[in-house]
Amino acid sequence: MYQNKAYYFKYLFMRLFINFIVVFLLCSSVTAQDISIIPKPVHLVQREGNFIITKNTAIVIMNDADLQTAEFLNSYLKKFYGFELPVKKQAVKNSILINTKLSNTGKDAYTFESSAEGVSITGATYPGTFYGMQTLIQLLPVEKSSSLKISSVTIEDEPRFVHRGMLLDVGRYFFPVEFVKKCIDYAALHKMNYFHWHLTDDLGWRIEIKKYPNLTNVGAWRNKTNIFQFTDSTAGSEHYGGYYTQEEIKEIVQYAKDRYITVIPEIEMPAHSLAALVSYPELGCTGGPYAMPAKWDTYKEIFCAGNENTFKFIENVLDEVIELFPSPYIHIGGDECIKDRWKACPKCQARIKNENLKDEHELQSYFIRRVEKYVNAKGKTLIGWDEILEGGLAPNAVVMSWRGESGGIAAAKDKHKVIMTPSEYCYLDYPQKENEENVQDWMRLTTLEKVYSYEPVPKELNEEESRYVLGGQGNIWTEFISNPARAEYMMFPRFTALSEVLWSPKNERNLNDFTERLKIQFKRYDLWRVNYCTVFLDSASSKK
Ligand SMILES: [Zn+2]
C-alpha cells in the first residue's frame, strides 16, 4: 500500500513536472510569436508583464510637431479597433508618451519602452518618433479588441539606409487617389520614407499640367486596353484612362508628408513619352501624327532632342511639377531610349554636329545634362535610371540601378549617389511563385526568399564607395497589373521582406526568424483587409 502510494506520488510528481514543461514551452512559444516586428529592430529585450491600452489610456505629446504621429496612431486605432485615445500635452499615468528629443546624430533613431505603467517612445528626430510609433502598432494584437495588450519590451532602433522606397507606376494603368494613399500607408507601416510616383509613360500621362491641357485631355486616355495579349486585334475597346488634378496631387503630397514620406515625381524623358507626343505631336522627330497605344511595348517615338521647343516644353512642365512636389529629388526617367528617330532626324543630327557630340548616346547625355542644369538651378537634384550613365553621366545626378547592380556599381565608383532597385530582386511585378497568372515569360521568378536575400551594397564596392549607396526601393510596375487588388497581391508579402532588407542591420537578417514573424504579419494583413499572395503560407503548412 505504502509502496503503491509512494509510486503514486512519484507518478503524480512526474505528471505535474511534464505538464509544467509543456505549459512552459507553450508559453515561451506564444511569447516568441507574440512579438512580430518587421522590419526587425536593432536591439529588442522582452521582459515579464505587459501594458493594456484601453479607451482611458492617453497619448501624451511633449512637442506640437509630434501631433501628426499621435494622429496617425489614433487613425489606425479607430480604423482597425474602433476607438481613439485622448491626446494630452502633459505627463499623466496610463499613457503612451510620444516625445522627440532632437539629437544631431543625423539618424532617425528611436527608443521604445513598454511596461505595466505605460509606453514611452523617444525619437532622435520627428521621423524617428514616428517609426517608434509604427513599432507600437506592430505590438498591438492582430484581432480587433477594446483592450489592447502590449508586451513589455525595451527597443533601440534605427534604419540602416536613408533611402527606403516604394515605386507605384500609374502610367500604364491608372490607380485612384484612395489607392495611392493606401500605398503611402503601407510604406509608412513598413518604416519607408520615399514614395516614387511614376506619373507619365507611353500609355498615359497622369499629372495635370495647366500650361499643356492636352496632356491630360488627350494623353491620359486610350481607346483600347490590352492587359495580357500583345496583338491589337485582341485588345478591349473601352475608353480607358484617368489623371490626377493638381489639387489631388497636393492632397497626396500632404498625406505623405504627414507620414514622413517624401513623394518623388517621375516625368519620363526622352523616351516613354508617346502619350506626350500624341498630345503635342510637334515635339517628336517626325511631327506625327501619333496614336495612343493600347498595349505595352518599348516605343521608338521619343522627344526630339534637336528641337528647342522640346526643352521649353520640358522646362515649363518641370516648373509646375517642382511647384507641386517639395521633394529634393525630381526623377526624369532616362531609360530605354531607342535612338532610331534621332538617327533619321535632321534636327537631332544638327544638334549632334553643333554640340560636337560623338553619337546618339552622347545626344542622350546632352539631353539629360541640359535638363539636370535646369533642375539644379531650381534647387533640386535629378534622379535617372541607370541608362543615364550612357554617353556620360550628368554631374550631380543620382542613379537608380535597375538593370542589375552594374549601373549602381559604376555610379558609386564614380562618386555618384545610387539607389539600388535591381529588377531580379526588387521588381515586385515579377512572379512570386511558379505558374503565376498574368505575367510574362521574360519575367524572372522573384520569390519572397529571393527578395529577402537581397543585399543592397554590392560586394564590388569598397567601404568608401559603398557610402554612395543611399538604399533601395521595391517597384510595382503596372504593365500587367490593372487594379488595386492585383497590385496588393504582387506587393505582399514581398514588400514586407524588402522593408527588412532596407532597415535592419545586415547581420540581424535571418530568413527563418523573418518567416516566423511573417506568420503574424499575415494576420495583420487580414486585419488591414489586404490582398496578398499565400504561397508562403501554403508551403509552410504543407511542410508540417
Ligand atoms: Zn529629332
Any alpha helices (H) in 345-462, and if so which ranges? 346-354, 360-377, 406-413, 423-426, 448-452
Report in angstroms the alpha-carbon separations of 288 from 46, 218, 291, 301, 340: 66, 15, 9, 9, 15
DSSP 76: H
> Do residues 395 and 372 make contact, with C-beta atoms less than 8 angstroms apart?
yes
C-alpha cell, 522: 499575415
**In this predicted structure, what is the pLDDT of residue 33?**
41
pLDDT of residue 125: 97
Q: Answer yes or no: 201 catalytic.
A: yes
Closest CA relative to residue 530, chosen from 79, 19, 41: 79
Ligand 1 centroid to 283 CA: how many Å? 8
Beta bridge partners of 111: 122, 156
Can you give the pLDDT at residue 18? 54
Classified as helix, coil or strand, 421 is coil
Ligand 1 center from residue 539 Cα (angstroms): 54
Residue whose cell numbers read 477594446:
146
- CA 352 to ligand 1 center in whole angstroms: 10
Radius of gyration of the chain from its Cα atoms, rounded to whole angstroms: 27
Going from the Cα of 219 to the center of ligand 1, the distance in angstroms, rounded, reads: 20
In the structure, ligand 1 is a single-atom ion and the residues with CB under 5 Å from it are 285, 304, 306, 345, 347-348
CB 134 within 8 A of CB 98: no
Residue 403 CA: distances (Å) to CA of 246, 385, 408 = 33, 9, 9
By DSSP bridging, strand 118-123 and strand 110-115 are antiparallel
Q: Residues 6 or more apart from 344 whose CB is under 8 A from it?
A: 285
With 0-12 / 13-18 / 19 or more C-beta atoms within 10 angstroms meaning exposed / middle / buried, residue 344 is exposed
Verify cis geometry, omega within 30 degrees of 0, for the bond prior to 41.
no
In angstroms, what is the span from residue 286 Cα to ligand 1's centroid?
7
How far is ligand 1, taken at its centre, from the CA of residue 33, in Å? 61
Active site residue 272: yes
Residue 123 DSSP code? E
User: Which among 247, 359, 357, 224 is positioned nearest to 296, based on CA atoms?
Assistant: 224
Q: Three-state SS for 77?
A: helix
Q: For residue 28, what pLDDT is reported?
A: 40
Helix (H, G, I), strand (E, B) or coil at 45: strand
pLDDT, position 323: 98
Quote the ligand 1 centre to 220 CA distance (angstroms): 24
pLDDT, the chain, mean: 92
Catalytic residue among 34, 336, 436, 460: 336
Distance from Cα 312 to the centre of ligand 1, integer Å: 15
Instruction: Give percent of the chain with pLDDT exceeding 90.
Output: 84
- Output the CA 108–ligand 1 centroid distance in Å: 47
Q: What is the pLDDT of residue 328?
A: 98
Distance 26 CA to ligand 1 centre (A): 71
Q: Is 353 exposed, middle or buried (0-12, 13-18, 19+ CB in 10 A)?
A: exposed
Predicted pLDDT at 437: 84
First to last CA, the chain: 46
- The CA 345 to ligand 1 mean position distance, Å, reads 5
Residue type, 121: I
Whole-number Å distance, alpha carbon 305 to ligand 1 midpoint, is: 5
d(CA 512, CA 520): 14
435 phi, psi to nearest 5 deg: 55, 35
Catalytic residue from among 196, 198, 272, 331: 272
Task: Compute the distance from residue 287 Cα to the ligand 1 centre, in Å.
Answer: 9
- Counting as low any pLDDT under 70, the low residues of the chain are 1-33, 226-237, 540-544
Choose among 449, 453, 533, 448: nearest CA to 501.
Answer: 453
Q: Is there a contact between 310 and 318 (Cβ–Cβ < 8 Å)?
A: no
Among 185, 201, 335, 500, the one annotated catalytic: 201
- Beta strands 148-157 and 110-115 are antiparallel
Q: Cell match 510595382: residue?
A: 476
Reading the block at residue 272, the C-alpha cell is 516613354
The residue written with cell numbers 485612384 in the block is 176
